[in-house]
Structure 1
Amino acid sequence: MPSTVESRRDQAFPLLSAADIARVERFATRVAYADGATIVAAGGLSPGLLLILAGEITVTHRDAAGVEHLIVRQGAGHFVGEISQLSGRPALVDVRAIGAVEALLVPPERLRGLMIAEADLGERVMRALILRRVGLIEAGAGPVIVAPAGLDDLLRLEGFLGRNGHPYQWLDPTADPASDALLERLHLTREEMPVVLCPGGQILRNPSEQELARCLGLVGKIDPDRVYDVAVVGAGPAGLATAVYAGSEGLSVLALDTRAFGGQAGASARIENYLGFPTGITGMALMARAYNQAQKFGTEFAIPASAQFIEPQDIDGAPGFRLTLGDGEHASAQTVVIASGARYRHPAIPGIADFGGASVHYWASPLERRLCAAQEVVLVGGGNSAGQAAVFLSGQAAKVWMIIRAGGLAASMSRYLIDRIAATPNIELVTDSEVTALHGTPGALDGVSWTNRKTGATTTRPAAHLFLFIGADPNTDWLEGCGVARDAKGFVLTGEAAGSGRQPLETSRPGLFAAGDVRSGSVKRVAAAVGEGAQVVAAIHAYLAANANTPSPNQTRVDRT
């Protein structure tokens, strides 16, 4: 077993008592399976959480060669499932009956009700589901990506799966002899790489993120006839906070994001000034907790899915909105929260477009740090995100050159990070400078030059990776023509700035709200975005009450019974 699960085995695979089973039973139906029956097949939809009453089951996952690996064998009192059971997404493992099996089946919507109604038991179940997902990530369950190291599209797909907390396995055909046999067996060529083998048996050739998500069941068709209480555009800290608080208060929520949950905060190497985490926490860990929490309260996620337009829509005689999505789908909601955040700013460095995602990066995750092992890297930026990334990369990089235009970090970075950078021997701060040239061949950076703005002196260092943390612009281009007022820089106006009588987080259009970095005048901090995400739910309740909106017959609320 993977080390994380093995070290916490009792929590990952708890044995439920007779009293616990009785508490589960009112949320479940009884099912039976014959000896040898396939209860769950990888790639197929899982029926939900399965609590074994009699008999045994095996849980296995397959590697790229189709060989099965045992994850666990379980008997009476144990339950089968992992975090995907909260949302009814396709399974990543195979589950088979050993002998006749009797069990209690808790479908996803009832599982969420169980976790809320039975808090103590729900806590143990949730912890187990999360730990099992961690185990699957460590074991490399899920889709198999076949591609040589350093390929732009490999990094794109790895980044997408990694930031969405989805397990996968990577095979390098230049280093793994098994991959050649696999390519030959499937009649695939190296020119088609990266090739993705989905758990359900589908083969994708250099897929888009949307195609991969569809294949894995991460995003399904949105019901155009369903009306949500709240649609949240953006799943960063503000959007996730909105989803958690709205869902916990019984509102039906649909949350969209174009890439992954967590936003820019999810890419932070380490956050040490967030309230309640004195030892710090990675942005991915913090945002994954919020994502799982939102699912617990019934939020539906569509990732990746991009909002393209918002327009008013009459919903059973009450005002509402219709969202047009990038793939031609539509979603309807009584209110919309714009939490689309900001997009990374691209500097005007000559030739930067030639080096793509394999050499130029806008965040520093474990994937990027692995690529930089024992190498010199150049990092541009003087904010907290840049400081966190520099410290994180210094753990494996031979040298981190930190380039800033200012004369120092005091005006833009927290003191604890400034002190840590000064104390890290392989980080060198270069002030009053900017990157002026990149060297190498298309797709393969091998050197970076920067010039001192005061002296004109130019320095060139051998570096295969350039990290850019130079701020961001509001991600609001998609609001063009939607009637949402923005300031001169493109940030969404709210409150009195948006119109007389507007609530603090309400935009120029009643029923449309904005929270987090996308909002004009917001404090660009994770904690502030989370606070606004919570605050906007109160504004939504006030708006719904004022407009006498009640759930229409096709709405579904979280079952609390």
Structure 2
Amino acid sequence: MADSSSVGDRPEAPSAGSTVPRHDQTFPVLTAAEIERIRRFGELRRYADGAHLFETGQPGPGMFVVLSGHVAITQHDGLGHVTPVAEQGPGQFLAEIGQLSGRVALVDGIAEGEVECLLIRPDRLRGLLVAEADLGERIMRALILRRVNLIQGGSGGPVLIGSANAYDAVRLMSFLTRNGWPHHLLDPATDHDAAELVARYSPAPHDLPLVVTPDGTVLRNPSEGELARAMRMNGHVDRSKLYDVAIVGSGPAGLATAVYAASEGLSVAVCDQRAFGGQAGASARIENYLGFPTGISGMALTARAYNQAQKFGADILIPTEVKALACGCDDGPFKLTLDDGGELRARAIVVASGARYRRPEIERLAEFEGRGVYYWASPIEARLCKQQDVILVGGGNSAGQAAVFLSGHAARVHMVVRAGGLAASMSRYLIERIESTPNIEPVFDTEVVALDGSADTGLTHATLRNRRSGEDCTIAVSNLFLFVGADPATGWLDGCGVTLDRAGFVITGAPSADEGQRPAQALETSVPGVFAVGDVRSGSVKRVGGAIGEGAQVVAALHSYLAG
């Protein structure tokens, strides 16, 4: 099914990405003096005509600085489609943000004629960014913009074959989007190649969507873990290494800990079971975070922190679930058991696993999760409810942000709140915005008690009950968004000795029951060397700013513990 474009016969590539927004920042040209400053970080390499400098799906060797010759950058997918990205020559560098940590390449780099270049490996690249501040800033900006352009370009990466409105397609697209991974979807009802692939594999309805990886492997409705393994999405973490600190969770608190700890010279490993950003990463807009007067999306804010952590050398393993914590091990003070059966050792642990979305007592709720019931509101979900009525349940800031965001897509947002108003649980600026948005309709003293629909149609109706009168009413609706708080993600701490409160949140700073043991520090748990920050910690503020502050604060405690 390859189209007429191939490596040997491809359309002419744009000149160094001439159609790319912010072109000069995305594809800067280094001066001779700047290349001389870079030389000490690299090693000289030569490539013959047609040779690959890097290949899609293979670990990227680092950043290349072209000294002579030209390199064609192309994207290809598993259907055989090849898309030109850029042609780069002397003075230009070849890399994107994934090369900071040696992740797999998302594009192909092919020598056109003889090519001589400098190869700067990931560890040396991170050293360059720190040592050469002004030059490092230009390079870092280009690396980030290139990944953004790859995502927005809609080509390369895995190809999903199925309906854009199907539950499992939405699930996988959301997973890839949250991880900043390029992908695109083809509907077999309208696309010839997609229809041909469906005819070849004859999938049953539950096999859709098919996912075609860049190497041509076809997956049938994979789990997120299966897709991640097939795409080699997991970053590199040295399993044989004893890290100074292992951080479980990569929300704002975990990422802040990683940035400050790694920048201060500690060896850092970070694990997260789904994506960076946590619940904050799914926020449509954060307007009360210091320094962003016009607001910033949770994805944009946490993506910056994720890139910053990589810049300072934190090893990040996503998606990987931590199953258990063992303390007092012979080969290291702490050991994390991972979902792939492997282990990770560290001298200290930071619990930043946050909280999981709370599931209220609603009849048939589990049946429609992902098939009309959602716990976040991203552009993917917003597209599903275009010009439709939706129900949003919740009265906190997250609910308010989601209601305002969805109001720009849905015909009407029925905002269902158990309480009699919003003032006790929501910031005033959000209340004013909701009051001034004509298609947001707050419904107070009310709760959703039942859902209706079928496996074929998904959610079709929701029953609401007035808590004062007890009267029920049923609304025809296909999308229900739940923002009713969260429960702590602490199951993996069972049996390790870390004390939890009655709600399951981690207690920190409590006096030790053991005589002679030093008092616990403010963010330290009942197990010395195990700390907790962010939403998972009992008594935390449950705000993005608070989580980031705790992530920075805990690093001082880590230094004190590790030096003791």
TM-score, length-scaled by structure 1 = 0.94
Any conservation in 2 of the 1:5–1:131 contact (CA below 8 Å)?
A: no
Gaps of 5+ in 1: 547-561
Any conservation in 2 of the 1:257–1:303 contact (CA below 8 Å)?
A: yes
Q: Deviations over 1:405-444 (max 9, x none)?
A: 1010000000000000000011000000001221211361
Q: Quick check: 1:266 aligned with 2:284?
A: no
Q: Quick check: 1:208 aligned with 2:223?
A: yes
* Residue in 1 that maps onto 2:145: 131
Within 2, Cα distance between the matches of 1:431 and 1:299?
A: 46
Which of 441, 444, 461 is the aligned partner of 1:431? 444
After superposition, residues 58-73 of structure 1 pair within 5 angstroms as 58-63=72-77, 65-73=79-87
Q: Quick check: 1:525 aligned with 2:539?
A: no
Any conservation in 1 of the 2:320–2:339 contact (CA below 8 Å)?
A: yes
Any conservation in 2 of the 1:315–1:334 contact (CA below 8 Å)?
A: no
Q: 1:3 to 1:103 in 2, by over 3 A?
A: closer
Q: In structure 2, the residue corresponding to 1:501 is in which secondary structure? A: coil
* Residue in 2 that maps onto 1:551: none
Q: Quick check: 1:12 aligned with 2:26?
A: yes
* Residue in 2 that maps onto 1:469: 483
Q: Deviations over 1:184-212 (max 9, x none)?
A: 46676665322211123322222221121
Which of 414, 420, 439 is the aligned partner of 1:401? 414
Q: Deviations over 1:462-497 (max 9, x none)?
A: 210000000011111221111001111111111135
* Residue in 2 that maps onto 1:383: 396
Q: Quick check: 1:199 aligned with 2:214?
A: yes
* Residue in 2 that maps onto 1:219: 234
Q: 1:132 to 1:220 in 2, by over 3 A?
A: closer
After superposition, residues 249-264 of structure 1 pair within 5 angstroms as 249-264=264-279
Number of equivalences: 544
Deviates more, 1:375-384 or 1:147-156: 147-156
Any conservation in 2 of the 1:150–1:358 contact (CA below 8 Å)?
A: no
Q: 1:77 to 1:4 in 2, by over 3 A?
A: closer
* Residue in 2 that maps onto 1:514: 532
Q: In structure 2, the residue corresponding to 1:7 is in which secondary structure? A: coil
Within 2, Cα distance between the matches of 1:496 and 1:104?
A: 54
Q: Deviations over 1:100-134 (max 9, x none)?
A: 11101111111111101111111111110111111
* Residue in 1 that maps onto 2:337: 324
Deviates more, 1:184-193 or 1:392-401: 184-193
* Residue in 1 that maps onto 2:354: 341
Deviates more, 1:498-507 or 1:535-544: 498-507
Tell me how far 1:65 sits from its aligned partner: 3.5
Q: In structure 1, the residue corresponding to 2:109 is in which secondary structure? A: strand
Deviates more, 1:352-361 or 1:212-221: 212-221
Aligned-pair identity in percent equals: 58
* Alignment-mate amino acid for residue 179 of structure 1: A
Deviates more, 1:269-278 or 1:354-363: 354-363
Which of 358, 369, 381 is the aligned partner of 1:368? 381
* Alignment-mate amino acid for residue 420 of structure 2: G
TM-score, length-scaled by structure 2 = 0.93
Tell me how far 1:172 sits from its aligned partner: 1.3
Any conservation in 1 of the 2:78–2:217 contact (CA below 8 Å)?
A: no
Which of 286, 297, 305 is the aligned partner of 1:282? 297
Q: In structure 2, the residue corresponding to 1:358 is in which secondary structure? A: coil
Any conservation in 1 of the 2:17–2:23 contact (CA below 8 Å)?
A: no
* Alignment-mate amino acid for residue 549 of structure 2: G
Within 2, Cα distance between the matches of 1:365 and 1:387?
A: 14
Which of 514, 533, 538 is the aligned partner of 2:556? 538
* Residue in 1 that maps onto 2:5: none
Q: 1:381 to 1:306 in 2, by over 3 A?
A: same
Which of 507, 513, 521 is the aligned partner of 1:503? 521
Within 2, Cα distance between the matches of 1:246 and 1:4?
A: 39
Q: In structure 2, the residue corresponding to 1:6 is in which secondary structure? A: coil
Higher-RCO chain (CA-CA 8 Å, sequence separation at least 6): 1
Which of 312, 326, 340 is the aligned partner of 1:297? 312
Tell me how far 1:315 sits from its aligned partner: 6.2
Gaps of 5+ in 2: 1-13
Please provide the CA RMSD for this pair: 1.9
